[in-house]
Structure 1
Amino acid sequence: MESDALFSLGEPAGSRSAPDGPAGVDGFTAVADDSPLPVRMRPVTLDELVGQEHLLAPGAPLRQLVSGGAPMSVILWGPPGSGKTTIAHLVAGATDRRFVAMSALSAGVKDVRAVIEAARRQRRSGGPQTVLFIDEVHRFSKTQQDSLLAAVEDRTVTLLAATTENPYFSVISPLLSRCVLLTLQPLDDEAVRGLLRRAVADKRGLDGALVLTTEAEDHLVRLAAGDVRKALTALEAAAASATALGGGRIDLATAEQAVDVAAVRYDRDGDAHYDVVSAFIKSMRGSDVDAAVHWLARMLVAGEDARFIARRLVIFASEDVGMADPGALSVATAAAHAVE
């Protein structure tokens, strides 16, 4: 098999991006004007990456990976929307290394071995180093992961793998020991808020054509729960609704209608925070099961810290239930420990 046939693994015909530099960037679809908003707003430099400050310090593994300063193999572990694929795009475009991307959902052992053989030929002929990006690597079977070991060991390829699953359970130990594991964290609310504002103003996004109200912005931030892709997708849907209605602003009603999720009236730092948890406690005190479940669900949907809820249950078991049921405190304390 010719190496050129490998570059579009998992991509439809004609979707490959044009070569970028001497090595080329293969396996990623080129960004177009009609690409989804999260794709258009993907950072083009490492300085635009938001929310992973613990990995962005000078000399940190992530900066070395993007700059090509060290040919280390890396596994990126993090929740959806935390920037794993974005980092792969930055690696693809930052240096003159040959970059091949594939998805574990569609690639097999034959595909992996073909890429490795092409990389070995390139290396023998003095060509550029090959970076192999595998998305959703936890979907690979043990045999498929085994096929990578020798090439990663002798650096025939530099492996860049992404997973949303715990790699200590989903990636075989020999492969894990040959890679540096970088853990990406969900973005906090302020980081998501900043990216929403960037998307509204940036020419790659809405280019200032619409105004996003504070209430709608708060709703999108809560809805995202740290997932930037989810936030930008919801923003794009809300922008389309606002444009269809002929308005120049995205208000709360438009955002609710676009994503079909009602805004939860809850402020973790304001009066609603204490009002809701008070209603939760009083519902339990009155033995109203349905009401207690309602207020509990409202806190969880709004993004309340589960540890806070667990602590309030411990207090309730001690102060309100007390000796009426001595086992209640043990159960609540065990639940709090499990949450921690």
Structure 2
Amino acid sequence: MADLFSASRAANIARAAPLAARMRPRRLADYVGQEHVIGPGRLLRRLIESDRLGSVILHGPPGVGKTTLAEIIARETRRRFVELSATASGVKELREVLDAARRRLGDDGQHTCLFIDEIHRFNKAQQDVLLPDVEQGAIALIGATTQNPSFALTSALVSRSRLFALEPLSAAHIAAVLSRAVSDREHGLGNEQVTLEPAALDFLVESSDGDARRALGALEIGVLSESRRPLLFDLDLARESAQRKALVYDAGDTHYDCASALIKSIRGSDPDAGLYWLARMLEGGEEVRFLARRLVILASEDVGNADPRALLVAVAAMQATEFVGLPECQLALSQAVIYLAMAPKSNACTTGIAAARSDVVDRRVIPVPRHLQDRHSAAAQAAGRGVGYRSSHDAPDGVAAQDYLGVEKNYYQPTDRGEERMVAARLADIRRRLRGETAGEPGGGDPP
């Protein structure tokens, strides 16, 4: 219940809040960024303006305005804003909030906007508690998560919600947020006599990675750590205040996106991009065994016999990773990334085994030709197994004219790149010899 000192206490708490909290916009018109979500005519904007919110999941990296947008939505739709953190709330607290929301709606007709931060940390039972009130419209749920909702949330909750992806803020947006903070006398640093040098502004923008909270935090640290007034916030102070940034790297989308970028960069023969994505994953704390395994797979999948040494390099990098560990194993991994990126590319091994397995699964199984069957046992010999087999070592050229499959199939189709060009020429000659053709016969050709 409010008393004579409630306003004073609220003002004191507000003054103690960090700059990022104080600078949160209060109106949709002041919200910076995310035009693809809340720009004029966009779906979320229309839902807010028509007060038909329902259940909404906002997902995106930290510092892009998920909490701020939730507060603005509650204010614009004149709903009571109730915030829960999934890291500190259980089913008991959740039921209490939902019960109170139903009472307010029944007694006063007041709607509730329930904001759940880090909603992906709720387990299935906790998420299921929300479903009846979401379906009945007792609450307008706004969930915020840094994870992909399709993976992190239950399908029941996702199917009852509208999903909106918030993106990292652009450099122009971060610069606007910082400039506003420096000049704002009511909520920002406008009374601190701070002049932000252009070079310092550019550095704070670049080092924030689209995270407004990080940029404002660095600005605030720099200002509060200096007693000089007026204060020239220069590049040196910006560098000292920003310190080492903590990369956003999780086991969900970021892990898979970076791994995909690494593989596709190497496959695309770009060693510079490959090194960047390797560094991004290493700095993010990626398991080095995972990186080594991916490089070994790529060596066969995307290089293959165009450069058979690629597999040797990748396996050596894997062994070096196990032997020396971090941080030195980054040298072996980077060497492998560069070698694989620069190697000629062939996926003939990949497509060959895929075609063969497809035939095994989808078509009639080919029986082993009788002359290729095992004849070690007396029973096998009596049954005539293995009769007619010709050893390649007995052939003058080391290739015996013989059918090894029973049907005409060419699964391996070498490319004309790298060493596979020579493999292709030799394979054409081998296939001719297997058919018993000689040079000059139809379908034959001169040996290389």
Considering the TM-score relative to the shorter chain, is it more than 0.5? yes
1:82 aligned partner: 64
Q: Retained in 2: the 8 A contact 1:65–1:91?
A: no
C-alpha displacement of 1:199:
1.0
The DSSP-based 3-state class of the residue aligned with 1:162 is strand
Cα distance in 2 for partners of 1:332, 1:239 equals: 54
Q: Determine whether 1:73 maps to 2:55.
A: yes
Q: Which residue of 2 aligns with 1:248?
A: 231
Distance 1:297 1:175, change over 3 A: closer
Q: Indicate whether 1:257 and 2:240 are aligned.
A: yes
Residues 1:206 and 2:189 are matched in the alignment: yes
The yes-or-no answer on 1:170 pairing with 2:148 is no
AA aligned to 1:183 is: A
Taking a change above 3 Å as real, the CA distance of residues 52 and 31 of structure 1, as seen in their structure-2 partners, is farther
Is the partner of 2:218 in helix, strand or coil? helix
Q: Does 1:218 align with 2:224?
A: no
Q: TM-score, normalised by structure 1?
A: 0.68
Q: Is the 8 A contact 2:174 2:215 kept in 1?
A: yes
Give the aligned residue type for 2:128: D
Distance 2:240 2:26 in 1: 32
Q: Assess if the C-alpha contact under 8 Å between 1:31 and 1:39 holds in 2.
A: no
RMSD: 3.6
State how far apart, in whole Å, the 2-side matches of 1:109 and 1:331 are.
Answer: 56
Is 2:310–2:343's contact at 8 Å kept on the other side of the alignment? no
Q: Which of residues 37, 40, 49 in structure 2 aligns to 1:55?
A: 37
**Do the aligned partners of residues 323 and 179 (structure 1) sit closer, same or farther apart at CA in structure 2, a change above 3 Å counting?**
closer
**Distance across 1 between alignment mates of 2:50 and 2:82:** 15
Alignment gaps of 5+ in structure 1? 5-13, 19-28, 263-291, 302-321, 335-340
| Aligned residue number for residue 232 of structure 1 | 216
Q: Distance in 1 between matches of 2:85 and 2:129?
A: 15
Q: Does 1:147 align with 2:125?
A: no
Contact kept in structure 2, 1:187 and 1:228, CA below 8 Å: yes
Q: TM-score, normalised by structure 2?
A: 0.52
Alignment partner, residue 283 of structure 1:
none
Partner-residue secondary structure (3-state), 2:172: helix
Question: Could you say which residue in structure 1 is the equivalent of 2:256?
Answer: none
* Structure showing greater relative contact order (alpha-carbon pairs closer than 8 Å, 6 or more residues apart): 1
Q: How does 1:1-340 map to 2 (within 5 A)?
A: 32-67=14-49, 69-203=51-185, 204-207=187-190, 209-241=193-225, 243-246=226-229, 248-261=231-244, 328-329=340-341
SS in 1 for 2:81: strand
Aligned residues: 263
Tell me, what secondary structure is at the counterpart of 1:125?
helix
Partner of 1:278: none
Q: How big is the shift at 1:245?
A: 4.2
- The alignment partner of 1:238 has SS state of helix
The answer to whether the 8 A contact 2:194-2:229 is kept is no
Deviation per CA, 1:146-200: give whole Å up to 9, x if none. 1111111111111111001111111000010101001100011121111111111
The one-letter amino acid paired with 2:150 is: Y
Show the counterpart of 2:248: none
Check whether the contact 2:70–2:142 (CA below 8 A) recurs between aligned residues: yes
Q: Identify unmatched segments of 5+ residues in structure 2.
A: 246-273, 284-305, 312-339, 347-448
